[in-house]
Amino acid sequence: MKIELRNKYLSRPRYNRYLIATANNKIKAKRLYNANIRLAQAFHPLLSQFEVVLRNKLNIVLTSHFNDPDWIITQKNGFMRHQSLRNSHYFLKTCIQKSEHKLNRRGIPITNGKIISDQTFGFWLAFFLPHHYTLVNGQPIHVFIHKPALENRASIYDKLDKIKNFRNRVNHCEPICFSGHNIDCSYPAYELQVC
């Protein structure tokens, strides 16, 4: 990236981390910034595929649980409006309604597949929160058919949340090549190993 473009489009605090880590060596900072982008790019396909697989497996499990291939649409008026979800502002229901509104605006027919593919990682992760998990009778745990016996809803939620946070860092080209102010690319390996 040319210096004038970098200065125009990247914030100083964002780029200063690279300068600090390289003792203000502009050439090394530029290389480190570009290396961070390449590292993030390397993780992107794996994280994207993980999200798709998780989403599809949850859809299969919940389709079976509700005995309804359109559960994601019909359950807006089912478990997603349960009184216990008031404190979460009916998160799942609201997400689906936003997707439907977006599709309607674009003149795209609302289908189960369109609604499912439009949901975020956070939407799918929410099924492992106690208030949603209970309402679907613990079905999300069945996505992980080979999980160790010690793994439960809470431990799986924690791991999925770490993956989501790491995915967000990768998608937003946040630095993943630091430990504090030191250059250290073990953070991504550690984060994914813990999960």
Written in H, E and C, the secondary structure of the chain is CCHHHHHHHCCHHHHHHHHHHCCCCHHHHHHHHHHHHHHHHHHHHHHHHHHHHHHHHHHHHHHHHHCCCCHHHHHHHCHHHCHHHHHHCCHHHHHHHHHHHHHHHHCCCCCHHHHHHHCCHHHHHHHHCHHHHHHCCCHHHHHCCCCCCCCCHHHHHHHHHHHHHHHHHHHCCCCCCEECCEECCHHHHHHHHHC
- Count of domains observed in the chain: 1
User: Is 158 among the domain residues?
Assistant: yes
User: Is 164 among the domain residues?
Assistant: yes
Residue 81 amino acid letter: R
| Residue 12 banded pLDDT, cuts 50, 70, 90 | confident
Tell me how far the alpha carbon of residue 99 is from its chain's centroid.
Answer: 17
User: Is 12 among the domain residues?
Assistant: no
User: Is 7 among the domain residues?
Assistant: no
Higher per-residue confidence, 16 vs 194: 16
User: Is 126 among the domain residues?
Assistant: yes
Predicted model pTM: 0.85
User: Is 101 among the domain residues?
Assistant: yes
User: Is 31 among the domain residues?
Assistant: no
- Residue range of the domain that includes 119: 43-194
Higher per-residue confidence, 189 vs 65: 65
Burial class (CB in 10 A: 0-12, 13-18, 19+), 58: buried
pLDDT of residue 17: 85
Higher per-residue confidence, 14 vs 4: 14
Digit-coded pLDDT (tens) for 122-135: 999 999 999 999 99
Handedness of CA 92, 94, 96, 98 (dihedral sign): negative
pLDDT of residue 139: 97
User: Is 121 among the domain residues?
Assistant: yes
Higher per-residue confidence, 82 vs 188: 82
Digit-coded pLDDT (tens) for 46-103: 999 999 999 999 999 999 999 999 999 999 999 999 999 999 999 999 999 999 999 9
The answer on pLDDT for 192 being more than 60 is no
pLDDT of residue 179: 78
